[in-house]
Amino acid sequence: MEEYQGKTVAAATAAAAAALNCAPADLVVTVVQHPARGFFGLFAKPAIITAKRKPAPQKATPAPSPASAAPQPAPSPTPASASATPQPPETPAPTSAPASVSGKEGELTPEEIAARHAANQERMEKASAALVDYLVAVYVQLGATVIPTIRRQTTHELELNLKTATPAKVVGHHGRRLNALEVVAATFLTYQGVKDPQVTLDVGDYRARRQQALAKLGQRSVTQVIATKQAVFLDPMPARERKFLHQQLEDDPRVKTYSHGREPYRSLVIAPR
């Protein structure tokens, strides 16, 4: 069936009715994609449907009248000698199972693996190029100018460096703006077809300096926990930074760490053992 588009499902149905020269009520409609308003004007999606005419109702065949249903003469019995000799039933020819393309069911050949990897790489390259333009447009609306460059790119991971003359506006307080844009960037790549993308945004050497600051924060918090025998609740931070502190303090026999709260306000807790 042919697909029809419109801003709404009703508009798409009206377009299908006009194309098929019938009323909308005479159509069998299947919604392929519901419309979406979008985000920053880049995620808008039209309504897409498939439609066909409803089948015409079949006329009932009238039952034969009693007068027309004349009795038929009974068939004469066939002599036993003239009866056909029963034949044995035909044995169907054995059907061979289709050969598996990859040798074993559920496994991929090296050629298929290479083709999928190439397709995923091409998809990431196209999505990354679109993401660069998107980030530039978003930061313009936030009053900052950035020049994104790709540091590292795989089929599922992307690391971008944002060159700017106003790093404070790009990073935000304790990196909150940069962290928020990372979440938006990952969502953008998912919308472009990249499966489970991991995005890292950096401004100069901010991420390295942030790790140094987190290491010092962790040591100060450990000292406070030991002195007061009370747990310390750190400010909310992204999962990557919480994981860094978990790994830094996991071998310290004096304290234990765990995460508390819900995203995006999930924080790290350092408590005495």
- Residue 96: the pLDDT is 45
Separation between Cα atoms, residue 147 and residue 163, nearest integer Å: 5
**Where do we find the tokens 């996991």?**
250
| CATH classification code of 214-272 | 3.30.1370.50
Rounded to whole angstroms, the Cα distance separating 193 from 131 reads 12
User: Minimum mean pLDDT among 54-63, 96-105, 153-162, 234-243: which range?
Assistant: 96-105
pLDDT, residue 101, reads 45
The predicted structure's pLDDT at residue 1 = 66
When the candidates are 3.20.20.70, 3.30.300.20, 3.90.70.10, 3.40.50.300, the CATH number that belongs to 110-204 is 3.30.300.20
269 in Cβ contact with 258 (< 8 Å): yes
Distance between CA atoms of residues 269 and 246, nearest Å: 10
**pLDDT, mean of residues 10-27:** 82
Contact 183/190 with Cβ under 8 angstroms? no
Instruction: Count other Cβ atoms within 10 Å, centred on residue 143.
Output: 8
Place of tokens 């196209």: 126
Residue 59, pLDDT > 80, answer no
The domain segmentation of the chain, as residue ranges, is 3-53, 110-204, 214-272
Q: Which two tokens stand for residue 38?
A: 């979008």
Query: Phi-psi category of 231—alpha, beta or left, where left has phi over 0 and alpha has psi -120 to 50?
Result: beta
Q: Dihedral, CA atoms, 119, 120, 125, 127, nearest 10 degrees?
A: 110
